[in-house]
């Protein structure tokens, strides 16, 4: 007999639930962070290698309300 696979909980109320340890904001804010991180990437001349730094700094900026700072 084949093993049955456990179904994932796809209840709509769980769609935007954050997992423990996830520092990224829920979906709507995640899109804002992604957009800001991309702006930082472009401001750095689209140089590769600092995606995590751009993302974390974008999170900090949005959390503090400061989006006018220049990338390092």
Closest CA to 59 of 44, 51, 43: 51
Domain limits, the chain: 26-64
pLDDT in tens, 31-50: 999 999 999 999 999 999 99
10 Å CB burial of residue 56 (0-12, 13-18, 19+) is middle
Query: What pLDDT score does 6 carry?
Result: 56
Question: How large a percentage of the chain has pLDDT more than 70?
Answer: 56
Would the pLDDT of 2 be above 70? Answer: no
Would the pLDDT of 54 be above 70? Answer: yes
pTM summary value: 0.56
């Amino acid at each position: 007999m084949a093993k049955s696979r456990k179904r994932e909980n796809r209840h709509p109320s769980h769609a935007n639930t954050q997992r423990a340890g996830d520092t990224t904001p829920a979906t709507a804010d995640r899109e804002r962070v992604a957009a800001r991180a991309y702006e930082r990437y472009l401001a750095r001349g689209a140089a590769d290698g600092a995606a995590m730094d751009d993302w974390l700094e974008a999170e900090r900026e949005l959390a503090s309300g400061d989006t006018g700072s220049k990338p390092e």
